[in-house]
Structure 1
Amino acid sequence: MSAQTDGMFEVPIVDISAWVTGGPAAEKARAVRELDHACRTVGFIQIVGHGVPAEITDGLAGAIDDFFGRPLAEKKSYVRPPAENRGYSPPKSESLSYSLGVDPVSRMNDFFEAFNVGPADDDTPNTWPAGLDSFQPGVEAHFAEARRVAHTLTSIFAAALGVDPGYFDRITDHSIDVLRMNNYALPPGDIELGADLTGMGEHTDFGIVTVLWADQVDGLQVLGTDQAWHDVRPADGALLVNLGDITARLTNDVWMSTLHRVKPPVIDGTIRRRRSAAFFHDGNADALIETLPRFVPPGEHPLYFPITVKDHIIAKLSGSRAGRKNTSAVREAARVRAAQI
């Protein structure tokens, strides 16, 4: 199946229910083929049959509304150091394009605000806002479901890539997993509308796979192979899934870590609200990522040098949140510069 987005660009719809429920082998094989094709041609997929209950996503949406509806000064009390990847990120405190070494229109100008949490058993503790009784339960319930979906996807990845079924288990058994909740609209007066306003700058995701819940509101744009930006909205009941840099490195760019950005629509001088929650399944910090030999043509070298997940993520975060350009993202930066505005 496929979903039409802007009339020229398609994000395939893949039903993974057979992998979730233990369905027939033929249905599992179909999902493997369709996912492999989507990963090679788009890098973004609309996942249905994922099994996430509607009450879980409703609880997440309510938690997002409860926190981001608080006064900005209160939210800022939950800011954590960039390297911890937890807590609150205020508007215009980040520039995702710096994670690729690309200058934004104006420094640290990404409009979104965000709140990050990680696993409950992680060495880096979470920050939970006070006075919001339903926030932590709602967020943790979605975190668990998104993590389950990510693990299901890596099982399908292993089958599609022709590696042994336990391959991803070995590099994700203590994975860096983060749920980032995003909000793209603030009360009037908190920001200045202008030509340099960016919802979220162009970037690739850092890790293995991202599982995204989002409102069915315009804003997300994906860079196609035609070097043009295309609008993408979630299909009914679907989760948007995209590959990250680690998967691109494993496959020598045969599977695509696709550039994307968010351009919030401005209507009558105000920005329409858009919410999303991205679950990043990044892999073990100490996992050494090397290109799988089957993806390197005879007589050629891999496109990427070996790197640990930790070192790769530190370089990207230093760009997006600390304002230091990531000069190692040469291939990704070239794609940004070649894109049609």
Structure 2
Amino acid sequence: MKKVPTLDIRRYETDRAAFVAELGAAYQEFGFCCISGHGIPRELIDGAYDAFQRFFALPTDTKMHYHLAGSGGARGYTPYKVETAKDSKHADLKEFWHVGREIPRDSKFADVMPPNLWPVEVDTFKENGYGLFEALDQLGSRVLRVLALHIGLPERFFDDKIDQGNSILRPIHYPPITEANVPNVRAGAHEDINFITLLVGASAEGLEVLTREGEWLPITTEGDAIVVNIGDMLQRLTNHVYPSTTHRVVNPPNDNARKPRYSVPYFLHPNPDVVLDPLPQTITAENPSRYDTSITSHEYLMQRLREIKLI
């Protein structure tokens, strides 16, 4: 059976050409790869998970103080059964929090990137939450350098296109499934909106990827590996050279369905004014341009948030 590969990113410094070829091939095949050797301290990941679990354990009334109605959940808390996968009849069975990039309030992007909220009830939330945001942001930029080289771009092509990106760290809590007939998987089949997503330490099985052959392939990580997948914005910018692959979170077929599941994806976004037109390097006779209209990443984001009922 096929398997999404796990590759050690330290090979980028020691075995660059082969690593670039292997990582690029993994993304062209699956839209997903597991990255090990990234150097993000275990203590930071564990500290962040601990803080997030403590927040989700608070009473609903307390959590709702951090829910900004009408904001599309851009920052703070979003309660259960709000987000709905595109074309899905049922809302996802999850609650989540959004940590965004800290930017100067006189930035030209301040109107689309609001300030963060921090729950006063959990003293370690800000330090660990933003520490993990920054660590995953740096790892994401390293992955994008590899992908740039793989399609013939300068290594640092993406650096100045993501340094003010509207990126989101999203701690998620999927409650235990207790009813016998639940209408939906925990998170419906969907593609991500952004450039790339980095998923650190999902606490239970359940993540599945749809292969080209139409089969659902479970992804389980080993050791320190972080799951990194392509989103729709990068798929568009690379003219589908890197596919944004459909994935879902299913209820495990065992006792784990009756346990809560926590996961923390980091959605790495380009800067709001980046234009997502297919790059010339990705347009060939065999792969002609698939888009004839221009759109900025912010316009694209707003369009998609409406589709998934967050705004």
Q: TM-score surpassing 0.5? A: yes
CA contact 1:184–1:264 (8 Å) conserved in 2: no
Question: Partner of 1:121 in structure 2?
Answer: 103
In structure 2, C-alpha distance between the alignment counterparts of 1:90 and 1:195, rounded to whole Å: 18
| Per-residue deviation, residues 119-143 of structure 1 (Å, max 9, x unmatched) | 1226311111122111111111111
For residues 239-318 of structure 1, the aligned pairs below 5 Å read 239-265=226-252, 271-298=258-285, 301-304=288-291, 305-318=293-306
Q: Secondary structure at the match of 1:283?
A: coil
1:16 to 6, 9, 14: 9
User: What corresponds to 2:16 in structure 1?
Assistant: 28
Alpha-carbon spacing, 1:112–1:38, altered in 2? closer, same or farther (3 Å):
same
Q: How far apart are residue 67 of structure 1 and its match?
A: 0.6
Cα distance change, pair 268–160 in 1 and its aligned pair in 2 (3 A): closer
* 1:167 corresponds to: 157
* 2:80 partner letter: P
- What's the offset of the Cα at 1:88? 0.9
Counting only pairs closer than 5 Å after superposition, residues 119-158 of structure 1 correspond to structure 2 as 119-121=101-103, 123=110, 124-158=114-148
Secondary structure in structure 2 of the residue aligned to 1:127: coil
1:270 positional shift = 5.8
Task: Answer yes or no: is 1:64 the counterpart of 2:55.
Answer: no
Question: Structure 2 vs 1, CA of residues 62 and 73 (structure 1 numbering), >3 Å: closer, same or farther?
Answer: same
Once superposed, what is the RMSD of the aligned Cα atoms?
2.1
Task: Give the CA deviation at 1:214.
Answer: 2.7
Contact residue 198 and residue 266 of structure 2 kept, 8 A:
yes
**Aligned twin of 1:223:** 210
Structure 1: 5+ residue runs without aligned partners?
Answer: 1-7, 324-341
TM-score by length of 1: 0.82
The aligned residue for residue 107 of structure 2 is none
**Residue 48 (structure 1) aligned with residue 51 (structure 2):** no
Task: Give me the whole-angstrom Cα distance separating, in 2, the residues matched to 1:149 and 1:166.
Answer: 14
Output one character per residue of 1:99-124: Cα deviation in whole Å (capped at 9) or x when no partner.
xxx1x233xx2101111111122631
Q: In structure 2, the residue corresponding to 1:74 is in which secondary structure?
A: helix
Alignment partner, residue 83 of structure 2: 94
Higher strand share: 1
User: Match of 1:45, SS?
Assistant: strand
**Percent identity of paired positions between Structure 1 and Structure 2:** 30
Q: Structure 1's 160 and 268: CA in aligned 2 closer, same or farther, altered over 3 A?
A: closer
> Could you say which residue in structure 2 is the equivalent of 1:182?
172
User: Is the 1:291–1:306 Cα contact (8 Å) retained in structure 2?
Assistant: no
Equivalent residues, number: 301
Task: Give me the whole-angstrom Cα distance separating, in 1, the residues matched to 2:99 and 2:253.
Answer: 29
- What is the rounded CA distance, in whole Å, between the counterparts of 1:263 and 1:187 in structure 2? 11
1:333 matched to which residue of 2?
none
TM-score, length basis structure 2: 0.90
Match of 2:89 in 1: 105
Shift of 1:29: 1.9
- The separation in 2 between residues aligned to 1:35 and 1:299, in whole angstroms, is 22
**For residue 327 of structure 1, what is the aligned residue in structure 2?**
none
Q: Contact 2:47–2:128 at 8 Å: present in 1 too?
A: yes
